[in-house]
Structure 1
Amino acid sequence: MHRLYPNYSFLLRLFMPGLLLLFAINGFAQVKPVIKPDTTIVTDTTRFEDRVMRNLKELSERKTIMGKLLSSILDFTPENEAALNLDAELIEREYEKHNYKVVRTIRVIPLDAFGYSIQDTARVPANWIEKTGNFFHAKTKKSLIRNKLLFEQNETLEPLALVESERLLRQTDYILDARIIVNEQTTSEDSLDVIVITKDVFSLGGSGSFTPSSGAGRLTVRELNFLGLGHQPEVTYRFNQNRPRPWEFAGRYSIENIGRSYITADMAYVNENYYQEKSAFLRRDFYATNTRYAGAAGVSQVEERILLPPTDADTIPRFGNLSYTRRDAWFGRAFKFKTYNLGYEPRGRMIIGLRVIDTNYKTIPTDNFQSNQLYLGSVGYSVRKYYKDRYLFGFGRTEDIPAGSIVSVTTGYENATLTNRRYLGASFAFARYRPTFGYLYGNVTYGSFVNDGSWQQGLLQFQSLYFTRLYENGNWKLRHYIQGRATFGLNRNPEDLLSINNNDGLRGFNSTLLRGSKRLTLNYEANLYTPFSFLGFKLATVAFADVAWLSFGNKTSPFKNKPYTGYGLGFRFRNEYLSFSTIQILFSFYPRLPANEDISSFKVYEASRPYYDFTDFRFERPGVAEFK
């Protein structure tokens, strides 16, 4: 499939998102899903757009100022893309003939962020914008890429090493895409040569905001790959705040994959008006299917202000101060089952994890907070594999879709200042993906403390996510997303409260007083990916509808209350070559609002955090089911 040509006709359509969505839904009704990539050149579907593109291309070839400007910002060269909908097991079968061969050489080819192609390594930057961007970008060091690989030179190639290494590179924040190729021309019966090609994103990024009426603002600067070494500093500064002081600061620093150990160091210092944190952690996840050991250790100091249970008469929120020091450590070990199929690596793993958390409270708002030591142990079984597709959460880049299942059982013991109690929990999740069906994910989690036969601080949670197959009509692409979530608190403390704000329920919604102990939300979204692009920023239009039920009290059903709803349209912009988050401008409407709060029914807001995301099937650290 070829990259869609940039088109200036979006300047007219940019202001008509509703018409775009109606056109898409109308045109996609009878369209078949895309299963195999099209190797022919994709052209625009209307004669008007063809004429515009031809005229722009002719203008860009002239020796005039306008021609040079157009040739600098628009790219008329189609780019071949890799195949879509690739099953990880099929990829593994392609490589299994190379299992247990000796790796003679590993050639690493890192590409800069602009002007290069991972499918065509002969392509080079063609204009001053691409060359200038690369001048200010530090290309990833070859040694850093080698540290990500699960195979080494002069060592035997294990099953899954090639496909898992490619996925790990692609999921790295500062790498846009990666390909690992076996040089078939030099491969022999007992040895082979490997070529690793990666393409960077422009790692320096940031964001900011400013309110002219008050002079308040925010500035964030982040670097995903400092000097090409994989270090990730981020600094946020807020100024001219109202109270209690005019400034806030937050700084974070991560060092990924220290040496070749896959150990990451995370440090944070946050000094905000109502939240202060100092923390340092070392962690190693079950990053690959065949990872045997994982764990983490660290310490954190937190001072924060938490919302207290509201009453019907409250017109302003009530808060309490909370401060504590927490030391946290865990260790996990994965075991694989024997296989008699030489060269085939079974994907199932049994995992055992142990964790100790020591929490020492210094300031508490109520007596429900007790200093304690919590000891947890988990046993789980995980099966995971990955597919590759596009236009899921990105705008054309290759994305890895996790599929499989995981089941885990957790037990523990809490030794607290006043009372001791046991903990029991269990979780099950699964996901399936088919190009003709789409993606379906489901999860159920339960956990509760037990004290003298009384079940306390319980939680029952359900979650599901479905997105449809990808539909195409010419250069337009459409996908639907449906998400359902239910969280039921069982004998929770009064301070444990749920909201329906933003990503917790209704996107763009923000209420301080509206809280509960049981919540049910349904979210629908339609993403229409357009063929319009400018300076590498691609455009998609969004339509969404959200519904949320909320209730307070252990015996009250959320369905007895009238639901809150939100509806909206918007635009989404993203340049896959930059580290900037996706830019979303949404127009939303909320028919029902809380009676005791002054909130507008209409809202225009910008959001960068994606509303949906994948849940991987790697085993996480043992923990108490999170109530949020």
Structure 2
Amino acid sequence: MCLLALLLLPGGVCHGQEVPPVTQDSTLTDTTRQRFDDRMIDNLKKLSERKTVMGKLLKSVLVFDRVDEEVYGLDAELIQREYEKHTYKIVRRIDIMSLDAFGYSIHDTARVPQNIFEKIGNSLHVKTGRGLIRNKLLFEKMEPLEPLALVESERLLRQTDYLLDARIIVNEETTTQDSVDVFVITKDIFSLGGSGSYTPSSSRGRISLRELNFLGQGHRAEISYRFGLDNRPRSWEASGYYTVENIGRTYITADMAYVEKNFYKEKSAYLHRDFFATNTKYAGAVGASWINERIMLPPTDEDSIPRYSNLVYNRQDAWLGRSFKFKSYYLGYEPRGRLITGLRFINTNYSVKATENFQDNTLVMGSLGYSIRKYYKDRYLFGFGRTEDIPAGSLLSLTAGYENGDLRQRKYLGASLSLARYTPTFGYLYGRASYDSFVREGEWEQGVVQLESLYFTRLHERGNWKLRHFIWGRGTWGINRNPEELLSINNESGIRGFRSNLLRGSRRVALNYEANLYTPFSLFGFKLATVFFADVAWLSTGNKSIPFKDPPYRGYGIGFRFRNEYLSFSTIQFLISYYPQLPPNETINEFKIFESSRPYYDFRDFRFTRPGVAEFY
């Protein structure tokens, strides 16, 4: 019992949906049928009240009086007319409250840290500066309040890496007919994180550190170092990344990277500004990169080891986008649809070419798109209870370009359509279809057809237990691709945990299923969920072969997912997988135990991005 008590911590009661009322007399309730998690929490609480070493330890790390926070408006559309009556009023006052990572609540400002671990964690953390939060707001003091400014500002704050959640509230008590007072409250995550590993038998190890909010100023720094590498040109590898976001409240972000690996080297620097909000007018980027990498050559049936070749090049890249909104004759109503244009220049020069298919070139691309973006709020999707924004809407884009190379000239054409719908009772359904290709002398080459669909069900609840299902389907078909352009089904590309050095092809279809059961237990602040997955993938070689001719590769697995919303390394997964079919000429274990720190699925936003050549990977 003591061992179990150390592993299980309380999760609280969820208020996401109403529990049907009990019609029978409460005095007749059979106490022996009390839920398992309630009995476990009661037992842990009684154990923590004992004056023993175990009791004192449990009392220092467990909090029994807290329940899940009730979050209002989860099923409501985020872009709504909640504050319609305040549109174009003058913002008289903006008050900002920034909360530390541990022990505080964005929905209950009276809550404070209660145990020593929360207090120590906060002492090691620098809170986000109020000036940094103010720079993310789309409204200003003593200026008229534009439509959507409040809800869009709240969403932007909530999607910031170093913030767990955010709320923007209008003080209705001080509101007048022509002015408002606004209260902004944010909650940090513990932005410093790291990881490492060491194998004594081989003296091999890895160290990585990450800071998402350096000194509370929104700077992101990440470094990693590997050592003790065998059979490599060099026994170590290192990489570093640095990001400065929202420079001078312009929403311009600077990204710098330095990567020194054995088979991949990169130096790059970029300035970019996205269409971060639905009413953003201008976006663009400018930057340069220097890359030295090793690419895999097409495998043959006789190969037992992969063959590679080097590729060295530098690239200069710049683009500019402009968004146009349609006129609205309803005062205070912001139309959601946007017509967007973009123009991009890419110059690439190769100093070492892997094959003759690579050429120095200048590529000019233009695009025209129509986007409708809206957002909903829900919980228990990729997080464990925090408020999450679900993108819905549609995006249609058309792209045309011209490549002027030292060996050949050709045109580029592309089209893409994506749609998504969400309802609290049905769940979320996303679909996307695209076709992109170069055209030279009437022949289509290096083309790709992509199909994608993602569905997740509504949240099923039984007491404090919650269940959600995910289904993800993807198809990638290469059309007249170059021989060295190859697809795999490794990990995120098809089957999670699967890895093959030789299994490559030009056409791929993958189906992924996952069930997440969220439990009411946690371990030192890490909430627990169980995961089951089943992955199936087909892969074919050749530009005209059909993937479904051969039996699919499969992967099945089960495991645990721990997540602490307050830490930068928030997700930890341990999975046991089984692969019934293995590729020839390789030694791969049928069973595998692996860990992962990122979710397998993610949302596709309907934000218009820079025009570019469709990726084939």
With the length of structure 2 as denominator, give the TM-score of the two structures: 0.94
How many angstroms apart in 2 are the aligned matches of 1:225 and 1:602? 39
Percent of residue pairs identical: 68
Matched, 1:133 2:124: no
Question: Conserved in 2, the CA contact under 8 Å of 1:45 and 1:474?
Answer: no
Which one is further off, 272-281 or 572-581? 572-581
CA deviation profile, 1:116-166 (whole Å, cap 9, x unmatched):
111111211111111100000000000000001000000000000000000
Structure 2 counterpart of 1:299, which letter?
A: A
How many angstroms apart in 2 are the aligned matches of 1:99 and 1:39? 39
Question: In the alignment, which residue of structure 2 is the partner of 1:212?
Answer: 200
Structure 2 counterpart of 1:144, which letter?
A: L
How many angstroms apart in 2 are the aligned matches of 1:254 and 1:236? 15
Give the C-alpha shift of residue 81 in structure 1. 2.2
Question: Conserved in 1, the CA contact under 8 Å of 2:138 and 2:152?
Answer: yes
Q: Secondary structure at the match of 1:569?
A: strand
What pairs up with 1:8-27 in 2 under 5 angstroms? 8=4, 11=7
Matched, 1:119 2:133: no
Question: Conserved in 2, the CA contact under 8 Å of 1:324 and 1:360?
Answer: yes
How many angstroms apart in 1 are the aligned matches of 2:126 and 2:8? 38
Give the C-alpha shift of residue 482 in structure 1. 0.5
Question: In the alignment, which residue of structure 1 is the partner of 2:219?
Answer: 231
Shift of the 151–72 alpha-carbon distance from structure 1 to 2, 3 Å rule, reads same
Q: Secondary structure at the match of 1:155?
A: coil
Give the C-alpha shift of residue 448 in structure 1. 0.6
Matched, 1:370 2:370: no
Question: In the alignment, which residue of structure 1 is the partner of 2:310?
Answer: 321
How many angstroms apart in 1 are the aligned matches of 2:525 and 2:234? 40
Question: In the alignment, which residue of structure 2 is the partner of 1:587?
Answer: 576
CA RMSD of aligned residues (A): 2.0
CA deviation profile, 1:219-249 (whole Å, cap 9, x unmatched):
1100000000000000000010111211000
Aligned partner (choices 287, 292, 295) of residue 306 of structure 1: 295
Q: Secondary structure at the match of 1:88?
A: coil
Matched, 1:525 2:514: yes
Q: Secondary structure at the match of 2:492?
A: helix
Matched, 1:191 2:179: yes
Q: Secondary structure at the match of 2:41?
A: helix
Q: Secondary structure at the match of 1:92?
A: coil
Question: In the alignment, which residue of structure 2 is the partner of 1:442?
Answer: 431
Q: Secondary structure at the match of 2:566?
A: coil
Matched, 1:177 2:171: no
Question: In the alignment, which residue of structure 1 is the partner of 2:67?
Answer: 78
Matched, 1:453 2:448: no
Question: In the alignment, which residue of structure 2 is the partner of 1:99?
Answer: 87
Question: Conserved in 1, the CA contact under 8 Å of 2:342 and 2:610?
Answer: yes
Question: Conserved in 1, the CA contact under 8 Å of 2:7 and 2:523?
Answer: no
Structure 1 counterpart of 2:316, which letter?
A: R
Question: In the alignment, which residue of structure 1 is the partner of 2:248?
Answer: 259
How many angstroms apart in 2 are the aligned matches of 1:573 and 1:464? 27
Question: Conserved in 2, the CA contact under 8 Å of 1:424 and 1:449?
Answer: yes
Structure 1, unpaired ranges of 5+: 1-6, 14-32
How many angstroms apart in 2 are the aligned matches of 1:521 and 1:422? 30
Matched, 1:241 2:233: no
How many angstroms apart in 1 are the aligned matches of 2:33 and 2:346? 60
CA deviation profile, 1:398-445 (whole Å, cap 9, x unmatched):
110000000000000000011100000000001000110010000001
Question: In the alignment, which residue of structure 2 is the partner of 1:161?
Answer: 149
Question: In the alignment, which residue of structure 2 is the partner of 1:497?
Answer: 486
Q: Secondary structure at the match of 2:249?
A: coil
CA deviation profile, 1:454-493 (whole Å, cap 9, x unmatched):
1111110100000111101111110111011000000000
What pairs up with 1:21-60 in 2 under 5 angstroms? 36=17, 46=34, 49-60=37-48
Does 1 or 2 have the higher relative contact order (CA < 8 Å, sep 6+)? 1
Q: Secondary structure at the match of 1:86?
A: coil
Question: Conserved in 2, the CA contact under 8 Å of 1:358 and 1:372?
Answer: yes
Matched, 1:349 2:338: yes
Question: Conserved in 2, the CA contact under 8 Å of 1:476 and 1:531?
Answer: yes
Give the C-alpha shift of residue 44 in structure 1. 12
Give the C-alpha shift of residue 519 in structure 1. 0.3
What pairs up with 1:290-439 in 2 under 5 angstroms? 290-439=279-428
Q: Secondary structure at the match of 1:621?
A: coil
How many angstroms apart in 1 are the aligned matches of 2:18 and 2:333? 28
Structure 2, unpaired ranges of 5+: 22-30
Give the C-alpha shift of residue 560 in structure 1. 1.0
How many angstroms apart in 2 are the aligned matches of 1:573 and 1:543? 14
Shift of the 344–44 alpha-carbon distance from structure 1 to 2, 3 Å rule, reads farther
Give the C-alpha shift of residue 561 in structure 1. 1.4
Which one is further off, 208-217 or 50-59? 50-59
How many angstroms apart in 2 are the aligned matches of 1:537 and 1:349? 41
Matched, 1:282 2:277: no
